[in-house]
Amino acid sequence: MNTPSALRAMLVLAAICGALSSPGQYTVRFLNPPGAGCMALGASNGQQVGFVDNLGAIWNGTAGSLVTLNPFPGWPCYVNAVRDNLQVGSASSSHGIRALVWYGNNESCVDLTPWGEQWGGAVLFGTDGPDQVGEVQIPNTDLTMRASLWHGTPESWVNLGTEFDFDSIANAVWGDVQVGRASSVLWDYNSHAIIWHGSSDDWIDVNPAGFSGSAISSVWGDTEVGSGSPEGLPGHAIMWHGTAESYVDLNPVWATSSSANAIVGNTIVGQVDGRATMWDATTGEAFDLQQYLPALDFGWSSNAWAIDEVTGDIVGWASNDMQLLAVVWSPGNGQTLVPHDQTVSIGRISSGDVASLASFDGNAEVLCKFMVPSFQSPIIAFRCDFDSPSANPTAIQAQVAAKLHDSGLFRASVYLHNFVTNTDDGLVLGQPLGSDYAWTLGDAQGNLTDYIGQDNTVQCAVTVSQTGPVVISLPCVAFEAVNIRIQ
């Protein structure tokens, strides 16, 4: 008997969530501006960093707090790590790729590339505040990348990679310890996990015996994490304590592959078979983080990339063919609210009803344009009512999953009703809609109690407007979910 695809997907999800334990409640936030592809790559003291399209990005907890970094306009820029409002990364330029440090804004940029304006390549991947690590491609030499250490200035650059005849990279730093990987002809050009102590001649190869290759991504105290490939197998998440013999394979017995990206205290994060995952460093137990994302159809993957050492927030991303979302997982209880009432003011429902908006379950509500007064007017507008469990929330996020049934250029906007001003405050304005489902996600700002009405009511309004030429006269939009996530 053939198992229907939807049921088969549910069985796979149940198996994964059953195998990965629950670490407690997490609330998810998304940092994307409308229509942008984003990744969150670092976090520290309530701040997140990464990129938005080809711009470096700094956030302070919400999409609306975005500060973009682009020291060389027209060239790509990425921020890879942060510690105490010091951000590190790289940007392309007419002189090659530059290793850069910022202090919260574009104007504060400092170029740590060691050779001035000569063409070359340099990237910063990690920092503990005083020190920075990454890789360089030295001008007028071969294309070999060299693991590198800085102490805040171009002149402080230390080449850690002189002992290796092929590429090396330093990914993270903790005091006088730098970690990463290096390749050599002695290892058939495979990468081995390496621990340095401040100079090129003070290093330890911690590649586990029987592994074809390995790399360290992060270090915290005397513990390192990363990945390694047992001979003939895909990569496994690995933990070390300073020696090759100390390695612990974190790959769950049922999983094909995994990787560990960061460690803070006893918490390790990464991915297992393409799902964001957290491990307990003491027990090695794995916990699924993707389960806290809004219901995502299969074909999505996610990855947990960094941990905020102050707040405990975990950052990373989720992606499919349509969207790349920067994700923040925050410890704490949260609840997803479903609408109990809906009022359609523009358009008409052709199938489904308010119950169809409760979850991403394949049962969509389809609304179609009926008649509008002008091209500028929304073709669809409706409002949903929710019951909040709290009159004093600490976070409110609107979550709308929609797609076009027809061709054309259309954008969705999401609002939350402010009961104090009696206005609808825009959370996301102009999210493009396509032929596949995409999430429109918006976080409420300011005094959150203003969005809680009598009897703890929350109201979310959604509009769809046409932004391009008319292709068909009566376009339709399918809404899979309209939810409120509240904490």
CA–CA dist 3, 348 (Å, integer)? 35
Give the Cβ contact number of residue 69 at 10 Å: 25
Give the Cβ contact number of residue 57 at 10 Å: 28
pLDDT at 34 over 80: no
Partner residues linked to 378 by β-bridges = none
User: Residue 10, class by beta-carbon neighbours within 10 Å (0-12 exposed, 13-18 middle, 19+ buried)?
Assistant: middle
Question: Could you tell me the pLDDT band of residue 308, with boundaries at 50, 70 and 90?
Answer: very high
Write the pLDDT tens digit of every residue in 122-136.
Answer: 999 999 999 999 999
**56 touches 70 (CB < 8 A):** yes
As annotated, the residues of the chain forming the CATH 2.60.120.260 domain(s) are 336-486
**123 touches 135 (CB < 8 A):** yes
Cα atoms found within 13 Å of the Cα of residue 310, Cβ hemisphere only: 11
Residue at token pair 């394949």? 362
Residue at token pair 């609808």? 424
Question: Residue 459: what pLDDT?
Answer: 97
Rg (CA), the chain: 24
| Average pLDDT of the chain to the nearest whole number | 88
Of 453, 365, 374, the closest CA to residue 403 belongs to 365
What are phi and psi for residue 333, nearest 5 degrees? -75, 140
Question: Could you tell me the pLDDT band of residue 382, with boundaries at 50, 70 and 90?
Answer: very high
Average pLDDT over residues 14-41: 71
Asked: is 336-486 a CATH 2.60.120.260 domain? The reply is yes
Question: Residue 12: what pLDDT?
Answer: 36
Write the pLDDT tens digit of every residue in 311-334.
Answer: 999 999 998 777 899 999 998 777
As annotated, the residues of the chain forming the CATH 2.120.10.30 domain(s) are 24-333
What pTM does this model have?
0.81
Going across the sheet that includes 457-466, the strands are 341-346, 380-387, 457-466, 410-418, 423-432
Question: Residue 99: what pLDDT?
Answer: 95
For residue 395, the SS3 value is coil
CA–CA dist 173, 286 (Å, integer)? 25
How far is Cα of residue 87 from the mean position of the Cα atoms in its chain? 17
Write the pLDDT tens digit of every residue in 413-452.
Answer: 999 999 999 999 999 888 888 888 888 888 898 899 999 9
pLDDT at 7 over 50: no
CATH superfamily, domain 24-333, is TolB, C-terminal domain (2.120.10.30)
Q: Which two tokens mark 353?
A: 């009803």
Question: Residue 23: what pLDDT?
Answer: 56
